Amino acid sequence: AQKVTQAQTEISVVEKEDVTLDCVYETRDTTYYLFWYKQPPSGELVFLIRRNSFDEQNEISGRYSWNFQKSTSSFNFTITASQVVDSAVYFCALSEARDDKIIFGKGTRLHILP
């Protein structure tokens, strides 16, 4: 069975600090896809990144970076030099290649304090 665990329910950091959101997943498939979504206070989920199981290269996009490690079944998300606008709920998600559905973790609520 597939599962996504985000152990951090809520995190608060001061602006300009770096913060890492953890994500651990479980799947029996060798081909799968991992995602991160951001949910700002407005409610809509915004797609941030997709990573397939064959690509373990880390990804960097501006202040955002993602560390995918198959050996530990983790797909962690780091925000560098955090800003107040980064305050949101962040969801990690998993989709197996044979399935059209995406399974979401319970989310991590991130507070960036000015």
66 binds other proteins (CB under 8 A): no
Q: Residue 5's beta-bridge partner residues?
A: 24
106 binds other proteins (CB under 8 A): yes
Based on CB atoms, which residue is closest to other proteins, 100 or 114? 100
DSSP labels, 18-32: -EEE--EEE-S-SSE
Nearest to 39 by CA among 114, 96, 104, 113: 104
Work out how close the CB of 39 gets to other proteins at its nearest, in angstroms, rounded to a whole number: 9
Residues 6+ apart with CB under 8 A from 110: 10, 11, 12, 13, 19, 21, 79, 86, 87, 88, 89, 90
3 binds other proteins (CB under 8 A): no
44 binds other proteins (CB under 8 A): yes
| Options 12, 20, 52, 58; binder of other proteins; rule CB under 8 A | 52
Under the rule (CB under 8 A), what is the footprint of other proteins?
A: 9, 33, 35, 37, 42-47, 50, 52, 91, 95, 97, 99-102, 104-107
